[in-house]
Amino acid sequence: RRPAGWRWPGSPRSPRRRRSGRRRPGAAAMEAAGQQVTGTGEGSAARLSGANHSLPPHCDMDSCSSEEFYQAVHHAEQTFRKMESYLKQQQLCDVILIAGDRKIPAHRLVLSSVSDYFAAMFTSDVCEAKQEEIKMEGIDPNALWDLVQFAYTGCLELKEDTIENLLAAACLLQLPQVVEVCCHFLMKLLHPSNCLGIRAFADAQGCTELMKVAHNYTMENIMEVIRNQEFLLLPAEELHKLLASDDVNVPDEETIFHALMMWVKYDMQRRCNDLSMLLAYIRLPLLPPQILADLENHALFKDDLECQKLILEAMKYHLLPERRTLMQSPRTKPRKSTVGTLYAVGGMDNNKGATTIEKYDLRTNIWIQAGVMNGRRLQFGVAVIDDKLFVIGGRDGLKTLNTVECYNPKTKAWTVLPPMSTHRHGLGVTVLEGPIYAVGGHDGWSYLNTVERWDPQSQQWTFVASMSIARSTVGVAALNGKLYSVGGRDGSSCLSSMEYYDPHTNKWNMCAPMCKRRGGVGVATCDGFLYAVGGHDAPASNHCSRLLDYVERYDPKTDTWTMVAPLSMPRDAVGVCLLGDRLYAVGGYDGQSYLNTMEAYDPQTNEWTQMASLNIGRAGACVVVIKHDFVSTA
């Protein structure tokens, strides 16, 4: 037995109880009522519940119960600080981690509280659970030291030269918070000179978000990436993934081909064996024929049978354009950044006429605003020459226009050009072998069959041969050196007829009629065929008019129309254009609202797919493609 008054060495003396008169139970609580609890440690200023309330006068102090709840605000922080001090003094440590030649003491409880890896190790029936010294294989000693310190302090210093070791160790020790912080740090460090390495490292560590960000950065900045050492050091199996991607941000296929040649020449003796495998991922049919002619007798290719087959395939694609529909393959599909940019100009919206211009990037699948028109135009036409938009005719709500303006998307500047001879709205506009053609329409009094041609050299409008039939809300397109005028309406009804103009004979010729009569029809060409999309089968003012989702395809070789897969919804006054290897149907009117939706047609699968929506609904928007709208972000 310990003698009276005995205490642990170093412990504070208990205050000696003062003898006094007897006090009733509850008197101490009554004295403390309404007073703040005074603590001795940091953060002990938490109040006792009910501490600011006096006892009601009728309360019997002997029977009144007093229940209080106290929570120390910084208890966990103070506890870990105490554990940190034990670590620094190497007190109560019950495990030593060994990495390389470094021994790191620690407390099992602390390690397992922050790391699932250590929690599993110390709570499972494994030998390490009882060992005082544990050898940590495959982990950087300095990174392990930093993470042990983090377990106690929650603090971590991130450095560019050690971040990968730290992230690898955090992944091994299952520290998700540290993994996330390290990944975000590496995202900030992304550069054309290191993005390939970071992407490969993220893949090896299973950091999917970091890998995705690094991959997207590589695709976006590929023009700069291929000029750096990391690209030249890529293994063939990684290079082929890059060459196969549709998402590389390049202006043309030549850029990717020349990048492959640089990679091969960096170590020609070893890499020639991979050339035919890698060349199969280059879209050779999309290279200029001059390059293909040079490749045939090039020293790298002339003795490689597989390379020769690929070159011959590409040459046939150029020499036999009429057979291209039968020669489709992944190598004939253009990369997304090389097809140009889709523009939607004006159109009818809920404000009775949109003046904004939007553009669509196939790689990002996003519409963004690209400019503003000088004024409102409805039922006008747009053509593209030298990557500029020519806005022609239409009506402004009061009168029919003959005015012409040119918009440069790069400078965002408008230029006024000489007007047409005739005021026209509901006209069709397209480019054929250089000049712009303005076809038919309505002049405010009558339906027109006249056609005007704009010469970009002389900058003058002249009349050419008139159509056989007057047509407004007509669809037009150029195909095989001829100008096709499709459907429309002539004042009494919608038309199913079609005729084409031959600029060399200055004559119009009738073709086979469509299966359905259509006004407000969208027209475009793809792979040697002409497509008629949507529209309506009676004037819009007629309550019996029917809005169409029908799509027809015209084969000029056989002069026949064939029905193909319909749109997902009826679209009158729909804008239609070819972008890459697909037809895009943009906006329109469904009988109730102006549509902001867009869908794309794949001729190979005969299917329509929903794509990104416009920022506003538009009917009668002019939809065109600017081919050389490539912008490198490097």
Q: For the chain, where do the domains classified as CATH 1.25.40.420 start and end? A: 234-332
User: Which residues make up the CATH 3.30.710.10 domain(s) of the chain?
Assistant: 75-189
For residue 299, what pLDDT is reported? 87
pLDDT for position 28 = 41
Predicted structure pTM score = 0.78
pLDDT at 9: 46
Please state at what angle helix 141-153 crosses helix 75-88, rounded to 10 degrees. 140
| Cα(132)–Cα(141) distance, integer angstroms | 18
Q: What pLDDT is recorded for position 274?
A: 93
pLDDT of residue 63: 53
Distance CA 284, CA 561 (A): 33
**Per-residue confidence (pLDDT) for residue 81, from 0 to 100:** 81
Q: What is the torsional sign of CA 71, 75, 76, 79?
A: negative
- Would you state the pLDDT for residue 539? 58
Measured between alpha carbons, how far is 38 from 571 in angstroms, rounded to an integer?
76
- Write down the pLDDT at residue 7: 45
Angle between helices 195-205 and 163-172 (to 10 degrees): 20
What pLDDT, on a 0 to 100 scale, did the predictor assign at position 25?
43
User: 234-332 — its CATH code?
Assistant: 1.25.40.420
pLDDT in tens, 243-293: 999 999 999 999 999 999 999 999 999 999 999 999 999 999 999 999 999
Beta strand segments in 46-150, E: 95-99, 102-106, 133-135
Domain made up of 75-189: CATH architecture: 2-Layer Sandwich (3.30)
Is the Cβ–Cβ distance between 304 and 276 less than 8 Å? yes
**Triad 592, 597, 603: Cα angle to 5°:** 120
Give the DSSP letter of residue 514. P
Question: Which pLDDT score, from 0 to 100, does residue 61 have?
Answer: 52
pLDDT at 35: 40
pLDDT of residue 540: 52
pLDDT in tens, 374-427: 999 999 999 999 999 999 999 998 899 999 999 999 999 999 999 999 999 999
- Using alpha carbons, list the distances in angstroms from residue 211 to 207, 363, 507, 621: 6, 18, 59, 39
Say what the pLDDT of residue 62 is. Answer: 53
In three-state form (DSSP H/G/I as H, E/B as E, the rest C), the secondary structure along 138-186 is CCCHHHHHHHHHHHHHCCCCCCCCCHHHHHHHHHHCCCHHHHHHHHHHH
pLDDT of residue 58: 52
Closest by CA to 168, choosing from 68, 244, 99, 238, is 99
Q: Specify the DSSP class assigned to residue 41.
A: S
Please give the pLDDT value at position 412.
94
Which residue ranges in the chain fall short of pLDDT 70?
1-65, 539-544, 629-634
The whole-number pLDDT of residue 90 equals 82
Distance CA 222, CA 239 (A): 12
Work out whether strand 133-135 and strand 95-99 pair parallel, antiparallel, or are unpaired: parallel
